[in-house]
C-alpha cells in the first residue's frame, strides 16, 4: 500500500506539473506577459498537489496501523486479551499471520482467527481509504493552485519559498541526528540508573553484566562497575597514541618541512590508503597476525602474554590512527606562517632547530587539538578491539594482559539474543552515553582550539 501511495504522489506531481505549465503557457498574451516562466507555474502546481499528500502520509502512516491493531485486539474475548507487552506482541504476530494467510491451520485459537480476519479487512480498508484521501487532497491542492495561474502570479517566488523550506529542513537533519542520539542514549541511561545506582556504575570496580535468568540465582543482579572498562579503554588508547603520536607527528613534520614535492606525491596517497582501510580489516590483522606474533615473541622472551593482549589491539589501532594524526598535524604545521621560519633561518638556525624551537611551539595548540581528536578516535574505535581485545573486565595497566573496552562491551551486550528491557541491555546505552559525551567534549574543545589557532594565523 505504501508503494501505491508513493506512486500516486509521483503521478499527481507529474499531472499537476504538466497542467500548471500548460495553463500558464496558454495565458493570453504569451509567456512574455507572465511574471514567472510556465515551468514555475507547473512546479508550483506540483508542490501544491504533493505537499498535502505527504502531510497525510506523515500523519496517517504511523497512526493507521495502530488504530487497526487496537481494533483487532478489541475484538478478542477477555481471556485472550494480552496482559503485558510480550503477550501483546505474540498475539499481534498471530493476528498478522492470520491476516496474511500464513498461519498454519489450527495453530491459533478461533477468536484470534476472527480478529485476524477483521484485521486483514480493516487493514486493506485503511490502506485504500488513505490512498483515496491522499488523492482527493492532492487533486484539491492542484485545482486550487491551477486557479491561481495568472500573468501577474509570482509562481517562481512562491516555489522558491517552498524550495527554501525544503533546504532548511534538510539542514535540520544534522541537528535532528544529534538530538536523536542524545535522547536515545539518555532515556535508556536514565532507565538504567533507575535500576542501578549511577555512582556504582561510574566508580564500581567490578564488571560482570551477565544477569542471571532466574531471580533466585546467586549474583542475579550483575555487577555494572564500569571502571575496568574505562581503564581498559584508556590503556589501549595510550598504547595506540604511543604508536600514532610520534610516528604521525614525525611523518607530518617530514612531509611539511623536508619532503620534496615528489616524495609528498608518493607518501600522501600512501597515508590516504592507510586511512581508507576499513577498521574491520585492521581488526582481522590484529587478531590473526599481530596478536599471535606478540604472544610468540613474548613467550620466547619468557613473558606471559594473553592471546588477546591490549598491546596487539593498541598497536594496530595506533597504525590505524597514524594517517589521522599526520594529516591533521600536517595542516596545522602548514598553517604556521613562513615568516616565522624565515626569522629563525635568518639567525643561522638549522632546519630541525627551527622546527623544534619555532614551528612546533607556534603550532602547539593546533597539535594539541589534533591529538585530542585522535584520542577521541581511539576511544570510539570499535572493530579492532572487538576482534582483538578481551571480553572480561580486568582492572590492570599491564599491556600484556587482556582488557576490555567500552565499545567492546556495547557491542557484546547488544548483539545476539537480547533480553527485552534488561539491565544488561540498558547498561550498554549507559556506556554509549559515557562514550558519546566523552568524545563530544573532546571534539568540542579540540575544534574550538583549532578554530582559534586558525584565526590566529589567518
Partner 1 sequence: MEAMVADARPSATIRSVPSEGFKPAKVITQDVNVYYGQKHALKHVTIDIPERSVTAFIGPSGCGKSTFLRCFNRMNDTISAARVTGKIGIDGLDIYDPSLDVVQLRARVGMVFQKPNPFPKSIYENVAYGPRIHGIAASKAELDDIVASSLRKAGLFEEVKDRLNESGTGLSGGQQQRLCIARAIAVGPEVILMDEPCSALDPIATAKIEELIDELRENFTIVIVTHSMQQAARVSQKTAFFHLGDLVEEGPTDMIFTNPKERRTQDYITGRFG
Partner 2 sequence: MTDAAVVRGRVLDLTSDTARAHVRRRYQAEARFRAYGIGAILFAALALVVLVGDIVIKAVPAFTIAELTMEVNVTAEAIDPTGSNDPAVIARGDFIKPIRDSLLAMFPAAAENRRQRQALYGLLSSDAAMALRDKVVADPALIGTRVSVPVLVSDDVDLFYKGLVTGIEELPTRGIGSPSATTGTVTLLSSANDFSEELVRVKQALAEQAAVLRQERERLRDIDQTNAADLVAAREQLTAARASGAGVAALEGAVTKYESDEASLKATLDGLSARIADLENRFDTAGSPETLDATAPSVLVEINGGVIKATELGNDRIVGEVLIPLTSTDNAQPDAWRTIVLDTPEANRKLSDQEIAWLQQIEEKGLVSERFNFLFFTSGDSREAELAGILGALVGSAFTMLVTLIICLPIGVASAIYLEEFAPKNRWTELIEVNINNLAAVPSIVFGLLGLAVFLNFFGLPRSSPLVGGLVLALLVLPTIIIASRAALKAVPPSIREAALGVGASHQQAVFHHVLPLAMPGVLTGTIIGMAHALGETAPLLLIGMIAFIVDVPQGITQAATVLPVQIFLWSDLPEIGFQAKTSAAIIVLLLFLFLMNGIAIVLRKRFERRW
Question: Which does residue 223 touch among partner 2, partner 1, none (CB within 5 to 8 A, set by kind)?
Answer: none
- Residue number, 140 or 444, with CB nearest to partner 2: 444
Number of residues that bind partner 2 (CB under 8 A): 87
Q: Is 126 in the site for partner 2 (CB under 8 A)?
A: no
Q: If binding is defined by CB under 8 A, does position 396 make contact with partner 2?
A: no
φ/ψ of 224, rounded to 5, equals -120, 45
30 touches which of partner 1, partner 2, none (CB within 5 to 8 A by kind)? partner 1
Told to check if 234 binds partner 2 by CB under 8 A, we report: no
Q: Is 151 one of the binding residues for partner 1 (CB under 8 A)?
A: yes
Among 152, 346, 348, 416, binds partner 1 (CB under 8 A): 152
Residue among 77, 246, 343, 361 that touches partner 2 (CB under 8 A): 246
Q: What is the x/- site pattern for partner 2, positions 164-193, by CB under 8 A?
A: x-xxx-xxxxxx-xx-xx--xx-xx-----
Min dist. Cβ of residue 155 to partner 1 (A): 12
Does residue 4 bind partner 2 (CB under 8 A)? no
Shortest Cβ 13–partner 1 spacing (Å):
22
Partner from partner 2, partner 1, none binding residue 170, C-beta < 5-8 Å depending on class: partner 2
Binding to partner 1, residues 23-42 (CB under 8 A): 29-35, 37-38
Whether the Cβ atoms of residue 378 and residue 351 lie closer than 8 Å to each other:
no
User: Interacting stretch for partner 1, rule CB under 8 A, among 1-9, 68-76, 152-160, 411-419?
Assistant: 152-160
Question: Residue 339: how many CB atoms within 10 A of its CB?
Answer: 8
292 scored as a contact of partner 2 (CB under 8 A) = no
Site mask for partner 2 (CB under 8 A), range 306-325, x = bound: -------------x--xx--
The least distance separating partner 1 from the CB of residue 160, rounded to whole angstroms, comes to 10
Q: Cβ of residue 182: shortest distance to partner 2, in angstroms?
A: 9
Q: With contacts defined by CB under 8 A, name the span among 41-49, 90-98, 226-234, 247-255 that binds partner 2.
A: 247-255
Q: Is 452 in the site for partner 2 (CB under 8 A)?
A: no
CA-CA distance, 367 to 354, in Å (whole number)? 17
Q: Is 154 in the site for partner 1 (CB under 8 A)?
A: yes
Q: How far is the CB of 340 from partner 2 (least distance, A)?
A: 18
Among 248, 314, 393, 399, binds partner 2 (CB under 8 A): 248
**Which of 236, 224, 230, 238 lies closest to 283 in space, CA to CA?**
236
> Which residue shows C-alpha cell 542475579?
220
Task: Look at residue 381 and give the partner it binds from partner 1, partner 2, none, a contact being a CB closer than 5 to 8 Å depending on partner kind.
Answer: partner 2
Q: Is 276 an interacting residue with respect to partner 2 (CB under 8 A)?
A: yes
What SS3 string covers the chain?
A: CHHHHHHHHHHHHHHHHHHHHHHHHCCCCCHHHCCCCHHHHHHHHHHHHHHHHHHHHHHHHHHHHHHHHHHHHHCCCHHHCCCCHHHHHHHHHHHHHHHHCCCCCCCCCHHHHHHHHHHHHHHHHHHHHHHHHHHHHHHHHHHHHHHHCCCCCCHHHHHHHHHHHHHHHHHHHHHHHHHHHHHHHHHHHHHHHHHCCHHHHHHCCCEECCCCCCCCCCCCCCEECCHHHHHHHHHHHHHHHHHHHHHHHHHHHHHHHHCCHHHHHHHHHHHHHHHHCCHHHHHHHHHHHHHHHHHHHHHHCCCCCCCCCHHHHHHHHHHHHHHHHHHHHHHHHHCCCHHHHHHHHHCCCCHHHHHHHHHHHHHHHHHHHHHHHHHHHHHHCCHHHHHHCCCCCCCCCCCCCCCCCHHHHHHHHHCCCCCCCCHHHHHHHHHHHHHHHHHHHHHHHHHHHHHHHHHHHC
CB of 164 to partner 1, least distance (A): 15
Between 303 and 441, name the residue whose CB sits nearer to partner 2: 441
For residue 160, the minimal CB distance to partner 2 (Å) is 5
Q: Least CB distance from residue 24 to partner 1, whole Å?
A: 10
Chain-centroid distance of CA 306 in Å reads: 33
Q: Is 350 in the site for partner 2 (CB under 8 A)?
A: yes
- Residues in the site for partner 1, rule: CB under 8 A? 29-35, 37-38, 151-152, 154, 156-157
Amino acid at each position: 500500500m505504501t508503494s501505491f501511495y508513493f506512486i500516486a504522489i509521483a503521478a499527481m506531481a507529474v499531472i499537476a506539473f504538466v497542467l500548471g505549465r500548460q495553463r500558464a503557457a496558454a495565458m493570453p498574451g504569451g509567456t512574455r506577459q507572465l511574471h514567472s516562466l510556465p515551468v514555475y507555474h507547473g512546479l508550483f502546481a506540483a508542490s501544491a498537489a504533493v505537499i498535502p499528500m505527504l502531510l497525510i502520509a506523515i500523519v496517517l502512516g504511523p497512526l493507521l496501523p495502530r488504530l487497526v491493531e487496537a481494533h483487532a485486539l478489541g475484538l478478542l474475548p477477555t481471556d485472550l486479551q494480552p496482559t503485558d507487552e510480550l503477550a501483546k506482541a505474540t498475539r499481534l504476530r498471530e493476528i498478522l499471520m492470520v491476516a496474511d494467510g500464513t498461519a498454519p491451520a489450527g495453530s491459533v485459537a478461533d477468536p484470534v482467527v476472527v480478529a485476524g480476519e477483521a484485521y486483514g479487512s480493516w487493514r486493506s480498508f485503511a490502506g485504500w481509504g488513505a490512498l483515496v484521501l491522499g488523492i482527493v487532497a492532492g487533486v484539491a491542492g492542484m485545482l486550487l493552485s491551477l486557479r491561481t495561474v495568472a500573468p501577474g502570479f509570482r509562481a517562481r517566488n512562491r516555489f522558491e519559498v517552498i524550495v527554501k523550506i525544503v533546504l532548511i529542513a534538510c539542514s535540520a537533519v544534522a541537528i535532528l541526528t544529534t538530538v536523536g542520539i542524545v535522547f536515545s542514549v539518555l532515556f535508556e541511561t536514565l532507565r538504567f540508573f533507575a535500576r542501578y545506582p549511577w555512582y556504582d556504575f561510574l566508580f564500581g570496580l567490578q564488571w560482570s553484566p551477565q544477569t542471571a535468568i532466574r531471580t533466585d540465582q546467586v549474583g542475579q543482579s550483575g555487577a555494572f562497575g564500569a571502571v575496568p572498562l574505562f581503564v581498559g579503554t584508556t590503556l589501549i588508547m595510550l598504547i595506540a597514541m604511543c604508536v600514532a603520536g610520534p610516528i604521525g607527528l614525525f611523518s607530518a613534520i617530514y612531509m611539511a618541512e623536508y619532503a620534496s614535492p615528489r616524495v609528498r606525491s608518493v607518501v600522501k596517497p600512501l597515508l590516504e590508503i592507510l586511512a581508507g582501510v576499513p577498521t574491520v580489516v585492521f581488526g582481522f590483522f590484529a587478531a590473526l597476525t599481530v596478536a599471535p606474533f606478540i604472544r610468540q615473541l613474548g613467550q620466547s622472551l619468557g613473558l606471559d602474554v594473553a592471546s588477546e593482549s591490549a598491546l596487539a589491539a593498541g598497536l594496530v589501532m595506533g597504525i590505524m590512527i597514524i594517517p589521522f594524526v599526520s594529516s591533521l598535524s600536517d595542516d596545522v604545521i602548514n598553517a604556521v606562517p613562513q615568516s616565522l621560519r624565515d626569522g629563525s633561518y635568518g639567525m643561522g638556525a638549522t632546519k630541525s632547530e627551527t622546527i623544534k624551537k619555532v614551528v612546533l611551539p607556534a603550532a602547539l595548540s593546533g597539535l594539541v587539538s589534533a591529538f585530542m581528536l585522535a584520542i577521541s578516535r581511539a576511544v570510539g574505535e570499535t572493530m579492532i578491539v572487538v576482534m582483538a581485545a578481551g571480553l572480561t573486565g580486568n582492572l590492570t595497566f599491564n599491556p600484556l594482559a587482556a582488557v576490555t573496552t567500552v565499545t567492546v562491551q556495547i557491542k557484546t551486550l547488544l548483539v545476539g539474543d537480547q533480553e527485552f528491557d534488561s539491565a544488561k541491555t540498558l547498561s550498554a546505552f549507559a556506556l554509549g552515553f559515557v562514550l558519546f559525551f566523552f568524545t563530544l567534549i573532546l571534539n568540542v574543545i579540540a575544534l574550538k582550539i583549532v578554530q582559534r589557532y586558525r584565526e590566529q594565523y589567518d
